[in-house]
């Protein structure tokens, strides 16, 4: 199987790992084409991704948008047995709007 090494000027996303699938979209102005699979990641460094590609695969250009997806079987996770409750109060005398609420979780028992 043929391989291709994609080299980037800036550091790539730290989440990319061996086994992920790499895709490309061709940009036409502000419109992107449907994602086209490039191949499966076989090696990653700070600025390069090496993947296996089929001979028929079209190679990306420098103007393509590159993205990746993970194998949902290997990276499947969910919250199991833990929960949180939040109560929010407005103690002021005037009306207020809540614009955003966010949270962070991480797996600590792996």
pLDDT at 2: 87
Give one DSSP letter per residue of 46-102, joined into a string: SSEEEEEE-TTPPPP-TTSEEEEE--TTTS-----S----------SSS--------
The per-residue pLDDT for range 63-101, each reduced to its tens digit, is: 888 999 887 666 565 556 666 788 888 888 888 888 888
Q: Is residue 44 over pLDDT 90?
A: yes
């Amino acid at each position: 199987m043929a391989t291709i090494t994609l080299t980037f000027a800036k550091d790539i996303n730290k989440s990319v790992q061996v086994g992920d699938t790499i895709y490309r979209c061709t940009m036409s102005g502000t419109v992107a084409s449907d994602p086209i699979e490039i191949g499966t990641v076989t090696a990653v460094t700070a600025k390069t991704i090496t993947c296996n590609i089929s001979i028929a695969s079209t190679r990306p250009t420098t103007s393509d948008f590159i993205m990746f997806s993970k194998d949902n079987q290997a990276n499947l996770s969910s919250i199991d047995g833990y929960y949180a409750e939040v109560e929010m109060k407005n103690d002021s005398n005037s009306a207020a709007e809540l614009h955003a609420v966010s949270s962070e979780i991480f797996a600590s028992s792996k």
